[in-house]
Structure 1
Amino acid sequence: MTTVGSNHNNSVSQERPTQHFLRENSETLKVPTCGTVIDLAALKHDDLIQVVFNMSQELFPGWLKQKEDVVINRISGALTNAIFFVDCCGKRRLLRVYGVGVDQLIDREKELAWLARLGRLKLGPRLLAIFGNGRFEEYVDSVTLNHYDIREAITSQQIAQCMARQHAIIRTYPPTTEDAGMDSLEIWKNVDKWYALVNRMLPTLKQQHPEWAQLLDVYNFEHLGKDIENCKTILSSINSPVVFAHNDLQYGNILKRDDTGALVLVDFEYAGYNTRGYDLANHFNEWRYDYHGDQPAAMTEPFPTYNEQLRFIQSYIDTYKNELGSADDDDTSAEEIQKEMETSLMATHVGWGLWGLIQASQSEIDFDYFYYSMERLNAFRDELAKWNLN
């Protein structure tokens, strides 16, 4: 039975949330919006088509003529959302349905505002419409990169160029004074929020999953708070400039256009102001994952070699100098930026480790979030120990 509300079908339950994530005068209110909620746990294929058809009649009048012409295909690879291609009358749009509980992890309004800005700057797909628990985005004729692609020399250099262009957005949208401090960086805002959430949920998590309880006790989450503050202190002494960072630049979030071969970055749920070193460290850590392999939650792939790191960073530097016009006195070497990255590795581990534990408690996606979380949190302490000794 269909349990999803729609404005155009009075025979089903109506549910129109207040869309609390859209604040007054938001840039994202300039795109069509509706309150329809898609419950993927309850909907079968035909029911999903019906709901998407009804919703599209409101958001995109004239696009979908009749339900029988609509084709919906789910695409794999997302660890947070369910993503579908919606095809009709020779036009394709991307439909993204947010995962259960994800709004605890993401500032949805901030994400949508950045998505709208990036679309206008032609640095990402355009935001087309928003509904109660998801959105429609522009579809880009492309293929998604895989874990082999990001290791290929030319592709890696292209990714570095894309990263440089995105980092430079800070010139167009500079942070406010309150957004530029250490604790205001995206990583620490998230870590502080997620750490508090993990501490609140630990008793319930142990009760629901007794097999996890011993590992959670041994890890000592009370002491983790002190480790996090120690990490902040170490990183505050690193002179890594604040940029507009993607913060989740894994291979599944990079598309290669069919027409030009150019790369396009997508999925800006975690984007925001962070240090250059953090965004580099996060991308290099993603070299270690094959999310479609036999152990998708484990770091089974090799970290980039020192020479691979320098090749990437040099392409990043060259893009800034030759295309974006970096300051004449900015003579930071690739080796110096590599050190920024290396020091920042621990911050990427603790952030995604906490994220994974929250996902383990609530996500409906078939992925071993608990293993992922504990491996990242242990890697955090390993990296922290290296810098505590110096």
Structure 2
Amino acid sequence: MNKAEDLANNIESSATQIVVENDVNNKVNYLDYLPDEAKEILKSLANKWENVLDANELEVIPLKGAMTNEVFQIKWQTTEGEMSRKVLVRIYGEGTDIFFDRENEIRTFAFISKNGQGPRLLGRFAQGRLEEFIRARTLSAPDMRDPSISALIASKMKEFHDLDMPGSKNVYLWERLRDWLIEARRLLSPEEVEMFHLNTMDKEISLLEKELSITPQRIGFCHNDLQYGNIMLDEVTNSVTIIDYEYASYNPVAYDIANHFSEMAANYHTETPHILDYSKYPDLEERQRFVHTYLSSSGEQPSDNEVQKLLDEIEKYTLASHLLWGLWGIVSEHVNKIDFDYKEYAKQRFQEYWSRKNHLLSPNGSSHDNVIDGEEALESIVNKKSAKSTPISRKLKKFFGLGLFRSKH
């Protein structure tokens, strides 16, 4: 996530990254940023390519946009003159092992690559890996609302969900939520735990798990972080590639789509990348179109009931998405050094959860078009408590900014 939207449509990229234009112009020597082990692997790779003029003459260009890693584009001059050979180097961020199992992610990466779903894995070193550089552009926030691009994403998502990944096929969402809650409580002060309402979050997770698991659901291999920076568009072949699989696991496909829809509220290429605007959440027509394309991409036409059932499930799973990424924001604030207001981001995700919870979990709660005040949602919780808890409720409302702004659905 970063601040370079104007560059997004004009350069080749292979992840959530955009070239840091100012640094390139200033000729900063980013070769020094790479571990020695990575340099040796890069030179070894280049020596195997006949069209590289000099394997030792590599240009290192930082790419911005990743939320947890440092990413660099590596270029060599080739015998074709203006053409260059490129790869991607990803250096893992400190503390990110809290969020996912790196070895499991590598296995996922390798499997997806072998199945033609993503870039090839070219090499590994202690602090990171080398990847194939995809000659396509990273999507921008407005791209996700483009009907033709959205249709490509829907079809590719179905293809991704249908991957038969080796290993456990159990739903991982609820375990991940509980694990991240434990980490968030560990990292926060008692006052912050109280302010973020984390003392009762176990009950919220259990409630969601119970409510959302009542009916049989489609389970698939989910990306779980399908924001626009993790989708590449090849405009020559008119195809998309899903990249970055750190959070990938088996889950209800409704959750993955819900998370994708929720990401449309974000634009990480602004001066305030942490600010979310839920007026940009897709309207009912957009959601119906996406779900119909998703279900019909395998060749069979879904019934209206099938479309509506999945739509209803998706709306409810937005609640799980808000909780998960709210907890992610809290933990990231303490372990990540990237310039991003993680805590404010977390507050907004939690506010959206409280704003939507009562409506979406009601018997007829399937629409995302009614505005529910976050303060009213919180008041319904506060009113169940004794008068003794009133000062806490006031602090909560002040902390979340409830009563100051509404959800913009």
TM-score (norm 1): 0.78
Question: Aligned partners of 2:180, 2:107: CA distance in 1, in Å?
Answer: 22
SS of structure 2 residue aligned to 1:173:
coil
Question: Aligned partners of 2:166, 2:106: CA distance in 1, in Å?
Answer: 17
Structure 2 residue aligned with 1:346: 319
SS of structure 2 residue aligned to 1:273:
strand
Q: 1:223 to 1:164 in 2, by over 3 A?
A: same
Match of 1:96 among 67, 90, 97: 90
TM-score (norm 2): 0.74
| CA contact 2:316–2:361 (8 Å) conserved in 1 | no
After superposition, give the CA deviation of every residue in 1:231-278 in whole Å (9 maximum; x if it has no partner): 111111143211111111110001012531211110111111000110
Any unmatched runs of 5+ in structure 1? 1-42, 207-212
C-alpha displacement at 1:388, in angstroms? 4.7
SS of structure 2 residue aligned to 1:264:
strand
| CA contact 1:281–1:345 (8 Å) conserved in 2 | yes
| CA contact 2:119–2:243 (8 Å) conserved in 1 | yes
Aligned: 1:195 with 2:181: yes
Structure 2 residue aligned with 1:120: 114
Any unmatched runs of 5+ in structure 2? 1-27, 79-83, 364-409
Structure 2 residue aligned with 1:269: 246
Aligned: 1:311 with 2:284: no
SS of structure 2 residue aligned to 1:333:
helix
Question: Aligned partners of 1:191, 1:163: CA distance in 2, in Å?
Answer: 23
| CA contact 1:256–1:262 (8 Å) conserved in 2 | yes
Q: 1:246 to 1:303 in 2, by over 3 A?
A: same
After superposition, give the CA deviation of every residue in 1:85-119 in whole Å (9 maximum; x if it has no partner): 11114311111111110011111111111111111
Structure 2 residue aligned with 1:357: 330
SS of structure 2 residue aligned to 1:295:
coil
Structure 2 residue aligned with 1:13: none
Question: Aligned partners of 1:103, 1:123: CA distance in 2, in Å?
Answer: 24
Aligned: 1:230 with 2:207: yes
After superposition, give the CA deviation of every residue in 1:187-235 in whole Å (9 maximum; x if it has no partner): 22211111111111113xx7xxxxxx5x642332111111111111111
Structure 2 residue aligned with 1:367: 340
After superposition, give the CA deviation of every residue in 1:58-101 in whole Å (9 maximum; x if it has no partner): 56654577575201111111111111111114311111111110
Aligned: 1:105 with 2:108: no
Structure 2 residue aligned with 1:48: 33
Question: Aligned partners of 1:46, 1:387: CA distance in 2, in Å?
Answer: 51
Tell me which moved more, 378-387 or 91-100: 378-387
Q: 1:117 to 1:190 in 2, by over 3 A?
A: same
Question: Aligned partners of 2:282, 2:167: CA distance in 1, in Å?
Answer: 31
Structure 2 residue aligned with 1:292: 269
| CA contact 1:93–1:139 (8 Å) conserved in 2 | yes
Question: Aligned partners of 1:50, 1:200: CA distance in 2, in Å?
Answer: 32
Structure 1 residue aligned with 2:160: 166
Structure 2 residue aligned with 1:16: none
Aligned: 1:380 with 2:380: no
| CA contact 2:329–2:342 (8 Å) conserved in 1 | yes
C-alpha displacement at 1:294, in angstroms? 3.2
% same residue: 29
Amino acid at match of 1:281: A
| CA contact 2:73–2:87 (8 Å) conserved in 1 | yes
Q: Give the aligned CA root-mean-square deviation in angstroms.
A: 2.4
| CA contact 1:79–1:365 (8 Å) conserved in 2 | yes
SS of structure 1 residue aligned to 2:89:
strand
Amino acid at match of 2:59: V
Question: Aligned partners of 1:60, 1:247: CA distance in 2, in Å?
Answer: 34
